[in-house]
Amino acid sequence: MEQFNNRNVADNGYFMVDIEDYPTDSMGRFKRIIKRTFRLELFVGLWVVMREMIKFDIHTISYPEEKMPIGPRYRAVHEMKRLWESDAERCIGCGLCEKICISDCIRMDTKIDEESRKEVTEYTINLGRCIFCGYCAEVCPELAITHGGEYENASEQREHYVDYEYMLTPIDVMKANAQKEFEGFGAITPHEDERVAKTPLSY
């Protein structure tokens, strides 16, 4: 992963390819043909592919059996997170995600529960419409809705829904302290605490 984070391309062994000018007169073209013919450039190509065949360094991943590790910031099917402190659901039913969703694929319904708190009663995402843009995860004030790593969500029809229960971290996973925080869109960046400035009271 480190090598991909290094943006300093200058000392990564990159260099500009030296491209000759195109010949403009027929003599120049003739010389170029002669040069190309007798430098046997075609055989360089033959050798390269032969070398790769002999090395047999196969890069194919036989997909259903083998899988690529995906990055922690990968935006696949959504997850609903729980609070670490109380195992309660993080979602406060504010509806921001429903509002911001640019493909209009989140629908939710809320009610006021016994403790006068908002409670989510219905929550579905139509994955057939979702473009996995990550806006919902970014806008969520509670870091409740995030993206997860589950990308195998093929379905036989265009409408394909996931609901609140499906996305919510199961309680036993939570009890085992195994909930994974999402590192991507909307997540808290490292050292966030130091950067947050308190609202001054002197207004």
Partner 1 sequence: MDNAYLIETIIKVVVILLVFSALAGIGTYFERKVLAFMQRRLGPMNVGPFGLLQVGADGIKLFTKEDIIPSGVVAPIFKIAPVITAATAFMAAAAIPFLPAFTLFGYEVHPIVADINIGILYVLGVMAVGLFGPLLGGMASANKFALLSAARAAAVFISYEVVTGLAALAPIMMVGSLSLIDFNNYQIENGWIVWSQPLAFILFWIAAFAETGRTPFHLIANDHEIIDGFGTEYSGMRWGLFFIGEYANMFFISFVIPIIFLGGFGDGTVLGAFALLGKMAFFFFFFLWTRAAWPDVRPDQLMWLCWKVLMPLAVINVVITGFVMMF
Applying CB under 6 A, the residues found at the interface with ligand SF4 are 91-97, 100-103, 105-106, 125, 130-136, 139-140, 142, 144-145
Q: Name the one range near partner 1 by CB under 8 A: 16-24, 55-63, 163-171, 177-185.
A: 55-63
Rg over alpha carbons for the chain, rounded to the nearest Å, is 27
Give the Cα separation of 34 and 21 in Å (integer): 16
> 52 or 181: whose CB is closer to partner 1?
52
The residue within the footprint of partner 1, chosen from 42, 102, 171, 188 (CB under 8 A), is 42
Query: Any contact of residue 26 with partner 1 (CB under 8 A)?
Result: no
Give the Cα separation of 127 and 173 in Å (integer): 24
Among partner 1, ligand SF4, none, the one that 96 touches (CB under a kind-dependent 5 to 8 A) is ligand SF4
**156: DSSP letter:** S
Among ligand SF4, partner 1, none, the one that 125 touches (CB under a kind-dependent 5 to 8 A) is ligand SF4
Q: What tokens appear for 2 in the block? A: 């480190």
> 46 or 131: whose CB is closer to ligand SF4?
131
Give the Cα separation of 28 and 5 in Å (integer): 45
User: Which H or E run contains 121?
Assistant: strand 118-126
> 45 or 190: whose CB is closer to partner 1?
45
State the amino acid at position 186 in one-letter form: G
Give the Cα separation of 36 and 56 in Å (integer): 29
CB 82 within 8 A of CB 174: yes
Look at the block and give the residue holding tokens 């032969």: 50
Q: Name the one range near partner 1 by CB under 8 A: 3-11, 39-47, 126-134, 187-195.
A: 39-47
> 68 or 176: whose CB is closer to partner 1?
68
Q: Which residues bind partner 1 (CB under 8 A)?
A: 42, 45-46, 48-50, 52-53, 56-60, 62
